[in-house]
Structure 1
Amino acid sequence: MIYLGRANMKPYHSIFREEAIEEYIQKRERDILPRFLSPSLILLLYVLLCLLLITGFLISYREIPIFAAGSGIILPGESANVFKDNTAVIMVFLPAQYAAQIRVDAYAQLEVMPTGQQFTGTIKHIEAGSIGLDEARKRYRLNDRAAQSIAQSSVAATILPAAVHPAHLSAGDPVSAQVQIGSQRLLSLFSGR
């Protein structure tokens, strides 16, 4: 075995420049974050989030109607002599707790019980004070079928159908009514107020 001394060894020369090696080492030492999303996709998602927030804000401040449920009866023609242009007048009895909120010209959704016919109308007259079940039977000549769904203490309101001559309405038929008594913001439903 031949031993060559230090004097005979040639210095090691790299084919790469020293600056290139240092730059390569520095790049490897840096933290590299993976790129999952493109910038255009991030921008699109940001715009969609903004639109969703704006829509939610606008919807939360929209007002929705509040209805009070009641029941009533279609009055015969001679009981409705004040309203000669309509063939049908409906007397609706609403719970007395809503007396302060019921207004003339309020919107009402009506459904005739035996036929299921649905139509709309407006309140034209509200009786002063509340009325009991027995007094309602006497004053409006209600039969047992019409009186069974009336609350003990009610407010009587006269409703005219939106159509001048609603078809298939018979005097004495019971009617279910939803009368608009106000409105509230959608946001207040979620806040518990």
Structure 2
Amino acid sequence: MLNPNHPVFRRNALQHYLQGQEKDTVPQFINAPLALVMWLLLAIVVVTCIVSWYQEIPLYNAGAGIVLKQAKSDQSNVVVFVPWSPALQPRVGQTVSLSVGGAGSQQITGTIAQVNLKSQSPATLCQQYELMAGCSLLVRQPSIAILIQAQALPTERYAGAIVLANVQTGSQRMLAFFPGLERLAGKSG
């Protein structure tokens, strides 16, 4: 039979087992270069979020108008009809981007000379500016009238031409365009 004083395991096998128990082995899921690349990507995302938090994008209201006929002036007067909205607060002296004509249109800038902030019906605006022919194409809803001076338009050549205008109404932080984050971004000018 077995000797009761005889150990079942050899002494160095038992020591090897105990040494293995003392070491903590951590499994390696990814290698070091990949971990470095992941941290770099995280840093880029964080920097992009910080930049987008403060970056502002201009907001525009679009409108259509017409170049008015004038007898003696080197500057063309353009009347633009912009649909009324609470955010629309154009100021005299503000720069407006204009495009004259259809496809391949000429891009020019003008300055606001006069603003009528009272919203009026399309029929009233057409009658006020004597635009009976084709007026329904320009003014389709209650709008405000903005008189713009554009120096780059010769009156005799462009009188009666249809103009598309973009009036800057303010700016908004880029982060506000993401759903759910508009509260965090806050309102800007």
TM above 0.5, yes or no, is: yes
Give me the whole-angstrom Cα distance separating, in 2, the residues matched to 1:69 and 1:165.
20
Q: What are the superposed Cα offsets for residues 135-176 of structure 1, whole Å, 9 maximum, x if unpaired?
A: 322332213324433144221111233x63479962112222
C-alpha distance in structure 1 between counterparts of 2:105 and 2:155, whole Å: 9
For residues 143-182 of structure 1, what are the structure 2 equivalents within 5 Å? 143-161=132-150, 164-165=152-153, 170-182=158-170
Ranges in structure 1 where 5+ consecutive residues have no aligned partner:
1-5, 7-13
1:47 matched residue in structure 2: 40
What CA distance in whole angstroms lies between the structure 1 residues aligned with 2:105 and 2:19?
Answer: 82
Q: Hey, what's the Cα distance between the residues in 1 that align with 2:31 and 2:78? A: 65
Q: 1:72 aligns with which of 56, 65, 72?
A: 65
Q: Deviations over 1:11-44 (max 9, x none)?
A: xxx9xx93x8724663389664443433344234
**Identity level (%):** 33
- Corresponding residue for residue 11 of structure 1: none
TM-score (ref. length: structure 2): 0.70
Out of 113, 121, 126, the position equivalent to 2:115 is: 126
Q: Which moved more, 1:143-152 or 1:89-98?
A: 143-152
CA–CA distance in 2 between the matches of 1:55 and 1:70? 34
Give the aligned residue type for 2:53.
S
> Could you tell me which residue of structure 2 aligns to residue 10 of structure 1?
none
Task: State whether residues 68 and 94 of structure 1, in contact with CA within 8 Å, keep that contact through their aligned partners in structure 2.
Answer: yes
1:93 is displaced (CA, Å) by 0.8
SS of the residue corresponding to residue 158 of structure 2 reads coil
User: Aligned pair in 2 of structure 1 residues 118, 57: CA closer, same or farther (>3 Å)?
Assistant: farther
State the partner residue of 2:176: 188
Structure 1: which 4+ aligned runs deviate by more than 6 Å? none
Q: Quick check: which has more Rg, 1 or 2?
A: 1
Match of 1:9 in 2: none
Q: Give the Å deviation of 1:117.
A: 0.8
User: Structure 1 pair 168/117, CA: closer, same or farther in 2 (3 Å)?
Assistant: farther
User: Following the alignment from structure 2 to structure 1, what is the Cα–Cα distance between the partners of residues 87 and 132?
Assistant: 24
1:104 equivalenced with 2:97 (yes/no):
no
Aligned partner of 2:122: which letter? Answer: L
- Structure 1 residues 116 and 175: CA distance shift in structure 2, 3 A: farther
The aligned length equals: 172
CA distance change for structure 1 residues 93 and 165 in 2, over 3 Å: closer, same or farther? closer
Whether 1:136 and 2:125 are equivalent positions in the alignment is yes
Q: Are the equivalent residues in 2 in contact too, given 1:106–1:181 (CA < 8 A)?
A: no
Choose which of 78, 90, 105 in structure 1 pairs with 2:78: 90
Distance of 2:156 and 2:86 partners within structure 1:
30
